[in-house]
Amino acid sequence: MFYVYSPSGRAFAGPLEKLRKVEKPANTSTIPSLNYTEVELEENEQARSSYDVPVKAISEYQNLLKKNSQQEAVYHAYQVMSQPVVSVQLSDTWGYVLELFEQVHYQVVPVLDNKGQLVSVISRQQIYAKLLSQSSVQMGRDTSLSSVIQTRGKSVVSADPVTDVRRVAKALVMYSLDAIPIVDAEHRLVGIVSRTDILRCVTANPPLSMWC
């Protein structure tokens, strides 16, 4: 199950096949340059606190697989996602965001509203582009992030905790994303799956079949 969020809230909920109809995939005819992907492994693997997935959610997912005559997934998103998630608020300042990216190695950081709901993401690449643009001269460090996200922000693709990690990997490639936030049925941000997390999953289980 995938979701699409924007500053207005959740705009879509459905499988990857339907997601393609509401969010046009990026051009994936060629493999993106490594400069645009998160490939650097952190020196210390981020601690993963256990996430309790509702039994009902797992049961519904397994029934869906049986209905579509698919074998059971090896991994779900909640089993490989990084948590807790480093995020920023719409009320945070541009200066705070810059300082945060100087301190962490992440390529993407989720943006939350005052209710803690996902509304967008901000990437290191976006920050670099903004700093190099002429408009950055007019934007002080005290500028609210909300003014940037609401005027220039795009909808963000996210996934449910019990989504097959191979489908998450496919979505990363389809939309040329560095990471996908993981959001539960209550709209709570519970984790994030990056390209690095996918690499960890593959190296930990080399026979992982990549059917989607």
What is the token pair recorded at 94?
Answer: 């541009």
For residue 147, the model assigns a pLDDT of 79
What is the token pair recorded at 105?
Answer: 């190695």
* 64-71: long-range pairs with CB below 8 Å, 24+: 70/211, 71/211
For residue 22, the model assigns a pLDDT of 84
Q: What is the largest CA-CA distance in the chain?
A: 56
**β-pair partners for 183:** 189
Average the pLDDT over each of 26-30, 41-45, 79-83 and give the range with the smallest value.
41-45
How far is the CA of 24 from the CAs of 2, 4, 17, 19, 174, in angstroms? 14, 12, 11, 8, 9
Rounded to an integer, what distance in angstroms lies between the CA atom of residue 194 and that of residue 142?
Answer: 30
pLDDT band for position 36 (50/70/90)?
very low
Is residue 44 pLDDT above 60, yes or no? no
pLDDT digits (tens, 9 = 90+) for 111-129: 999 899 999 999 998 888 8
Q: b/e map of 191-211 (b: 16 or more CB within 10 Å)? A: bbbbbbbbeebbeeeeebeee
Which of 60-64, 66-70, 93-97 has the largest mean confidence? 93-97
Average the pLDDT over each of 29-33, 85-89, 134-138 and give the range with the smallest value.
29-33
Task: Give the up-direction half-sphere exposure of residue 179: CA atoms within 13 A in the CB hemisphere.
Answer: 30
For residue 102, the model assigns a pLDDT of 92
For residue 97, the model assigns a pLDDT of 92
Question: Where do the domains of the chain lie, and which CATH numbers do they carry?
Answer: 2-39+49-204 (3.10.580.10)
The residues, ordered by sequence, that sit 6+ positions from 151 with a Cβ below 8 Å of its Cβ are none
For residue 48, the model assigns a pLDDT of 42
Is residue 45 pLDDT above 60, yes or no? no
pLDDT band for position 67 (50/70/90)?
low
Over the chain, what is the mean pLDDT? 78
The strand pair at 88-89 and 108-112 is best described as parallel
For residue 137, the model assigns a pLDDT of 56
pLDDT band for position 131 (50/70/90)?
confident
Strand order from edge to edge, sheet including 189-194: 9-14, 2-6, 156-159, 179-183, 189-194
